[in-house]
Amino acid sequence: MAAADSFRIAPLSEVMAAEIVGLDVSRPLDGETFAAVNKAFLDHQVLCFRGQNLSPDGQIAFSRLFGQVIVHDNSRYALADHQEVLVLSNDVDENGEHIGVVDAGDIWHSDLQFKPRPAKCTILYALRNPSRGGATDFTNQYLAYERLPEAMRMRISGLRGVNSISKLKNSRAPISGERKGAREFYIRQERENPDVEHPLAQVHPETGRTSLYCSPRFTYRLAGLTDEEGDALLDELVRHSGKREFRYRHEWRDGDLLMWDNRCVNHRATGGYAYPDIRLIHRTTVLDRR
Ligand code: OGA
Ligand code: MN
């Protein structure tokens, strides 16, 4: 069967995201089909494959089609026999211990933006969703860039954001009051992840389109500007990047496999559910090539 006939693309909103209808990603994709999926990914930034039935091996194999998959080797929330798969969940085991990352990303961000080599795409497979809440919000940062006033695009051309995993020095990313030992945690994380600079106007290596690349979670100042000037400018960019007109909200269904392009999309978890209403997601992350 020709790739063009093997699935249908159904846009999920005006601003981005599309559903790939009729493709079982647990089966190997031939080269032509993969090329068509990859084109859809670049065209729509967020792809959803509904009703999938995927083992951890199947999710890893699918993820590898897009590049190098991260191994979460010292995370207590990686699957023991598949360290590439990180568990996101509010569920607890028989000892009352969390089985996954509970609060992944409730402030707008792009994954691994604090690394020299950030994430290309993140792939989430939803095994179980709460009866309400748990949606994930996305913003199209190509659009955010394109809709900046011309003068602002000129102003940020050549400017770089400074990104850090640490919330300790970032007033835009408050530490949750419930988090015990947060100070020590971030001091350790900061030591292992020195600040990195990335261009604010980032050219996508595959599409050539420019997007706005900053987020309130990880970008905490602008290189080469005074704090006063940089803070005001970054506040404005961060506010602009999160505008409703750039947003798509994904309401999860069990069996959804969702992937997004971190090079041109910001996202955040929206919460709104509580134990014993359970959310269980398997995450894989593919690294950018840079
Ligand atoms: C992530 C993330 C959001 C969510 O996995 O990187 O930000 O809704 N997840 O789980
Ligand atoms: Mn994230």
Binned average pLDDT, 10 residues per bin, the chain of 290 residues: 75 98 97 97 98 98 98 88 97 96 92 97 98 98 98 98 96 83 90 97 98 98 96 98 98 98 98 96 93
Query: What is the per-residue pLDDT for 103?
Result: 81
- The token duo for 243 is 């505008």
Query: What is the per-residue pLDDT for 222?
Result: 98
Strand partners for 48:
19, 258
Residue with tokens 């409703």: 244
Among 77, 85, 88, 138, which residue has the most ligand 1 atoms within 8 Å of its CB, making it the best to mutate?
Answer: 88
Question: Chain-centre distance of CA 114, in angstroms?
Answer: 13
CA atoms of 206 and 202, how far apart (whole Å): 12
- The token duo for 213 is 């690349």
Query: What is the per-residue pLDDT for 4?
Result: 53
Ligand 1 center–CA 160 separation, angstroms: 25
- Nearest bound ligand to the CA of residue 137: 1
Among 75, 106, 129, 267, which residue has the most ligand 1 atoms within 8 Å of its CB, making it the best to mutate?
Answer: 267
Contact 59, 125 (CB under 8 A): yes
Residue with tokens 């647990």: 26
Query: What is the per-residue pLDDT for 181?
Result: 85
Which residues surround the ion ligand 2 when the cut-off is CB under 5 Å?
105, 111
Query: What is the per-residue pLDDT for 118?
Result: 98
Distance from first CA to last CA of the chain, Å, rounded? Answer: 35
Alpha carbon separation from 3 to 9, 33, 34, 154, 207 (Å, rounded):
12, 5, 8, 41, 21
Query: What is the per-residue pLDDT for 289?
Result: 85
Return the domain boundaries, the chain.
4-287
Alpha carbon separation from 235 to 117, 127, 211, 229 (Å, rounded):
25, 37, 17, 10
Contact 111, 119 (CB under 8 A): yes
- The token duo for 173 is 């990313």
- What single string gives the DSSP state of each residue in 41-74? HHHHSEEEE-S----HHHHHHHHHTTSPBPP-TT
Task: Name the CATH architecture for the domain at 4-287.
Answer: 4-Layer Sandwich (3.60)
CA atoms of 145 and 203, how far apart (whole Å): 11
Residue nearest to atom 4 of ligand 1 (CA): 269
Atom of ligand 1 nearest to the CA of 270: 8
Ligand 2 center–CA 122 separation, angstroms: 8
CA atoms of 246 and 10, how far apart (whole Å): 19
* DSSP H or E run through 88: strand 82-89
Ligand 1 center–CA 182 separation, angstroms: 20
Query: What is the per-residue pLDDT for 6?
Result: 87
Query: What is the per-residue pLDDT for 176?
Result: 79
Please state whether the peptide bond connecting residue 276 to the residue before it is cis, i.e. omega within 30 degrees of 0.
yes
